[in-house]
A and B are shown apart, each in its own frame.
Chain A
Amino acid sequence: MENQEQQANAADALTQVIAGKLDYLSTMQAAVQHGDDRKIYELLDQVRYYQEVKKTRANRSVNHLAELVDNIHPQISHYLSDNLIDYLGHIYPFFYYEEFTTGMFHIYFGNWWDRRLFGDLDVINVRFEFDKTEYQKLRDSFGLEGQGQRLNTSKIEAVSAESEKLQELVDAQATRDNEKTKLRDQLKENSGKSSMPWESGKVKGERQEIIDQLTKLADEDEKALNAHKQIKENDDKILVLSKEDTILNYEKQSIRDAFDDFEHFEAHNASLYADYLNSLLGKSEGEVTVDD
């Protein structure tokens, strides 16, 4: 008897749970049919929705219903991306998106030559997942602006200075050759000197000094020999660095044009979810109303 009752209660409970899930899915289905993206977002993450959009303090219990659609996220993302990217296009006119596989989007910064792959767009969570290294470069480059510097200014200066030195070494070849001739003559003279025992230390010292100088000159000769190759390599290095600076400059300019400064840009990124869903609230006429 008791057993039967328990069994019936269990069936009831299960039926309710299943009904809840069916309800969730049919609400989702209706939202898709009516093009109500806001509702879909609400269903995907009710906790976040109520916190960030409704701004209610009350903690809603996590119902895990959203897990029902976990394995169709790519499809949902693909569907939602259409309106989201439209919206982003107005606010972030410098980002370009490439759906590299269903529902997964790369973000490119700008449309200039060799623009950077800047990260991914998380459509489901309405969030930019910026590439950490690239993002840090941009942040640093804004920081350096105050000092009138670009990210690679000091690196470029260092490489240029090295090339200049190498060029000087090449240019000074004739001077070195003269000096070597002189030193060799001195060396001959030195070895011709009759070395009295009390002088031998001094002569030896002189000799060593001449040899040291000759070695130093030979080292410089060798460096000068490889200088052209090294200078060419440095030119390539400088090109890579200036290219990166040029790209960062375009990025900074884009951000300034749209947000005035980096802080505003970051603030917008932080409130993107709420801003986007609020924008959807305004135009959701075919909204599906569901009791909850």
Chain B
Amino acid sequence: MINENDPSTLTTSGRLLNYNEAIKDGLQTGLTFTKLMDQLIRTTDADELVSAATQLADFQLDSDYVTFPHQYSNADYYLLFMSRMLELHDQGSQVILQSRDHREELTQQLTTLGDRGTFSFRVESSENGGVFYRERATGQSLFYLNLERKMFRFNSHALTQLFIIDLHETVPAETVKTSVQVLLDFARYLKEDYGYSVDFNILDAANRQNYSVRAADLPAGIVDRLFVTAAKNDYMLTNGVNGNGAEIALDNNVVVDIFNNQLEGQPEWVLTVHDDDQKISWFDVLLKYPFMRDWYLENLTDLEIKSDPLVFE
């Protein structure tokens, strides 16, 4: 009996046929790949773009019989995807994709930020899948993206470390804001056009956004500190509307609340930022008000806004 899986049972021509089939398969995989690459690079249809990127995200180009010596990593397709997505929304000029001369590897810069930051994706090796968007010099993972699960999660820790701390001295706040806006827009397109579940975290400007702080049971002294420092800066921390927290009115009707969101049981302290146009996020407040920034950073251990614990440890 001939068993196709057992070469010893095959005739010579049978073996050659199998070999030939395997090569054809491998070549076919290559062809499919080039089609997807074409699609990823050229399509002007956002749906096709997402579809190509999703398929390329975990594409296995090599087979046992056909291997390709020159390959980009899967992470690079994400960069390409991000650039193209922005391009389709007329924001292509806001990122610069750079390729190396002798290696198939891409990196990206945010145009306004220039060489202050170089970014690439890193594939998550665990079975969760997905990729982290990292600043290469500092290793800060600004967001997590999973095309298959349609998930997008910003990371408050990395955004704070990179933009509020590391680049604070050298990059003007306005530049930081426009740079981060690019990332924000990318996430927004995925959410609005493809129904991604997106956690904008400290970048979320919606008034209803509750930013949970790390110390769910916030020590009282921390709010006291804000009270004292605010007074020194001619702002008054008042009793919160609901009586279980504090409130500070900044300029242009921007109001920050810090309060315990749970009336009973386990406390859960959160921050909120309210403004008439819902355009101001906690991140914006940190950029604009040095005394709020100092207060936040001095008490970061307790105050750091939580990111999705399933993605960022």
Contacts and interface: CB of A to CB of B under 8 A. Distances in A.
Contact of B236 (A114, A239, A250): A250
A242 interface: yes
A150 B225 CA distance: 18
Nearest to B221: A239
Contacts of B271: none
B186 interface: no
B296 to A, nearest CB: 17
Contact of A243 (B224, B236, B238, B246): B224
Contacts, number: 35
Contacts of A249: 231
B227 A113 contact: yes
A113 B225 contact: no
Contacts of B238: 111-113
Contacts of A246: 227-228, 231
A98 B227 CA distance: 23
A88 B133 CA distance: 60
B239 A243 contact: no
B225 A239 contact: yes
Nearest to A96: B239
Contacts of A240: 224
A112 B221 contact: no
Interface string A58-89: 00000000000000000000000000000000
A115 B239 contact: yes
**Taking chain B's interface residues, is the majority helix, strand, or loop, or is none over half, making it mixed?**
helix
Interface in A100-142: 111-115
Interface string B113-132: 00000000000000000000
Q: Size range of the interface on A?
A: 10 to 19
A249 B234 CA distance: 12
Contacts of A179: none
A114 B223 CA distance: 10
A239 B237 contact: no
A209 interface: no
A112 B228 contact: no
Contact of B239 (A113, A236, A239, A242): A113
Given A239-B228, A242-B228, A243-B228, A113 B221 contact: no
Interface residues of B, number: 13
A55 B173 CA distance: 67
A228 to B, nearest CB: 16
A114 B231 contact: no
Nearest to B232: A246
Interface in B228-246: 228, 231, 236-239, 246
Interface in A190-211: none
Interface in A212-256: 236, 239-240, 242-243, 246, 249-250
Nearest to A115: B239
Contacts of A250: 231, 236
A130 B246 CA distance: 25
Nearest to B225: A239
Contacts of B226: 113
Contacts of B231: 246, 249-250
A84 B239 CA distance: 24
Nearest to A236: B221
A249 B236 CA distance: 12
A115 B237 CA distance: 10
A112 B224 CA distance: 11
- Name the residue among A111, A115, A242 with the largest chain B CB count within 10 angstroms: A242
Interface string B195-230: 000000000000000000000000001011111100
A250 B227 CA distance: 11
Contacts of A239: 221, 224-225, 228
Contacts of B225: 239
A243 B227 CA distance: 7
A113 B247 CA distance: 8
28 contacts: A111-B239, A112-B236, A112-B237, A112-B239, A113-B223, A113-B224, A113-B226, A113-B227, A113-B237, A113-B239, A113-B246, A114-B227, A114-B239, A115-B239, A236-B221, A239-B221, A239-B224, A239-B228, A240-B224, A242-B228, A243-B227, A243-B228, A246-B227, A246-B228, A246-B231, A249-B231, A250-B231, A250-B236
Interface of B: 221, 223-228, 231, 236-239, 246
Given A111-B238, A113-B238, A239-B228, 5 more contacts: A113-B224, A240-B224, A243-B228, A246-B227, A250-B231
Interface of A: 111-115, 236, 239-240, 242-243, 246, 249-250
